[in-house]
Amino acid sequence: MTEAESAEARLKELEIKITFLDDYVSKQNRTILELSREIDKLTRALRSLAEKTEALGDGNVPPANEKPPHW
């Protein structure tokens, strides 16, 4: 194999690797975008639940599984 052929083979191998890496980065970007949207959705839901919980009372409600004091 001549030096030119060797360089051509190396160049072709690098181009293949770059193509795979480019595809991988694109998939990672899509995944990150989806996760970011899901985090935003969950954050809004958590905020809504916190507001509803706060609106229910002052927090002096005993837990449901706690026996009353007269037991």
One-letter amino acid for residue 40 of the chain: D
pLDDT at 24: 98
Q: Which residues of the chain have pLDDT under 50?
A: none
pLDDT at 20: 98
* Cα R_g (the chain), whole angstroms: 29
pLDDT at 58: 62
Q: What is the mean pLDDT of the chain?
A: 90
pLDDT at 1: 82
Angle of CA points 63, 67, 71, to nearest 5°: 160
